[in-house]
Amino acid sequence: MALSFKVKAISRKRLIKNISLSFIFLFSVILILFSKSDYFFVNKFKSISNTYLHPITSFIVSPVKVASNLQTQFYEFRNLKIENKILKEEIMRLKKWQALAIHNSSENRVLKKLLNATNNDLSLVKTASILSRNDFLYSKMVIINAGLKDGIITEMAVINHRGLVGRTIDPSINNSKVLLLTDPNSSISVKTISNENHSILRGADDGIHLVSAFNKSEKMPKVGDLVVTSGSAQVFPADILVGKIVKVIKNNFYVLPFVDFKKIDYVQIVETK
C-alpha cells in the first residue's frame, strides 16, 4: 500500500515537472513568435520590464556607476588645461559663425515672407536625460527619463546639439527607449547637402559608422559630403544633421555621425511643427 502510494507520488511529481516544462517551452515559442510579429503583448512585456526591473538593476549597480563617474571626472580634470585651450579657440570660431548665422537667419525670414513659404521648424516635445545605456554587445539603445506621460510615442526623432541621435521605441509611462542610429536595425532616409543624393542608412557592423543600404541615384556621393535627414520616410523631420561621408567602397558609402554616442547625457525629442 505504502509502496504504491510512493510510486503514485513520484509519477505525479514527474508529470507536474513535464507539464511545467512543456508550458515553459510553449510560452517561449509564443513569446518568440510574438516578438517577431511585434505583437502588443510583447511590447507591454517590454514596457513593464523597463518600468519595474530596470530601476532595481540600476539601484544595484549604483556603486559601479559612481566609480565610473569618478573615473570620468578624474580624466576630465587631468585634461582640463588642454580642453580649456581648445574651447577658447572654439568660442572664437563659433562667434564668427554666429554672426554669419544671425545674418543668414534674418535673410531667410525675409525671403520666406516674400515667398509665402510654410515654416518647417521643429517643435520640442521634451528634453530628457539618459537613465541608462543598453548598447552593450547587440542592440544600440539608451533609456531616457521621458515617457507616455510626457507625450512621447514611438518613432519620434531624438536629437542633441550635434545632430540626430535616433528614434524612440517602446515608451512606457515614465521612460522610453531610444534606438540609436548606429544600431544595425535602425534605418534612416537621408540626402547629401551638395547634390541631394537620396539614400537609406543603417548602422554598420563596427557600431561606429553608418552604411548606405540603398542609394537612389547611380552616382555615388563624394567623401566629405554632409548628410542630413530627407524627411521622406515621415519618421524624422527633414534637414537634421546626421554626419559626414568618410569613405566610399564599391556601391556603399560610410558616414561618421556628428553625435558622439559615448558622450550623450541629454537629448531632445522633437517633431515637425
Contact positions toward another protein, by CB under 8 A? 17, 20-21, 24-25, 27-28, 31-32, 34-36, 42, 45-46, 49-50, 53-54, 56-58, 60-61, 64-65, 67-68, 71-72, 75, 132-139, 141, 169-170, 177, 179, 184-185, 205, 207, 262-263
Amino acid identity for residue 193 in this structure: I
- CB of residue 212 vs another protein: minimum separation in angstroms? 16
Cβ-based nearer residue to another protein, 46 or 216? 46
Cβ-based nearer residue to another protein, 31 or 226? 31
Residue entry with cell 502510494: 5
Cβ-based nearer residue to another protein, 46 or 198? 46
- Cα–Cα distance list, 71 to 66, 74, 76, 208 (Å): 9, 5, 9, 23
- Hey, which bits of 85-175 come out as E strands? 122-133, 141-144, 157-160, 163-169
Dist CA 197 CA 174 (whole Å): 39
- CB of residue 23 vs another protein: minimum separation in angstroms? 10
Cβ-based nearer residue to another protein, 52 or 101? 52
Dist CA 210 CA 218 (whole Å): 19
- Hey, which bits of 38-195 come out as E strands? 122-133, 141-144, 157-160, 163-169, 176-180, 187-192
* C-alpha cell belonging to residue 178: 531610444
Residue 242 CB contacts under 8 Å (≥ 6 apart), including other chains: 163, 164, 181, 188, 190, 201, 210, 227, 228, 229, 255, 257, 258
- CB of residue 204 vs another protein: minimum separation in angstroms? 9
Cβ-based nearer residue to another protein, 32 or 110? 32
- CB of residue 184 vs another protein: minimum separation in angstroms? 6
- CB of residue 77 vs another protein: minimum separation in angstroms? 14
- CB of residue 247 vs another protein: minimum separation in angstroms? 18
Cβ-based nearer residue to another protein, 72 or 98? 72
Cβ-based nearer residue to another protein, 80 or 94? 80
- CB of residue 124 vs another protein: minimum separation in angstroms? 26
Cβ-contact 123, 270 below 8 angstroms: yes
Dist CA 210 CA 40 (whole Å): 30
Q: What is the DSSP letter of 241?
A: E
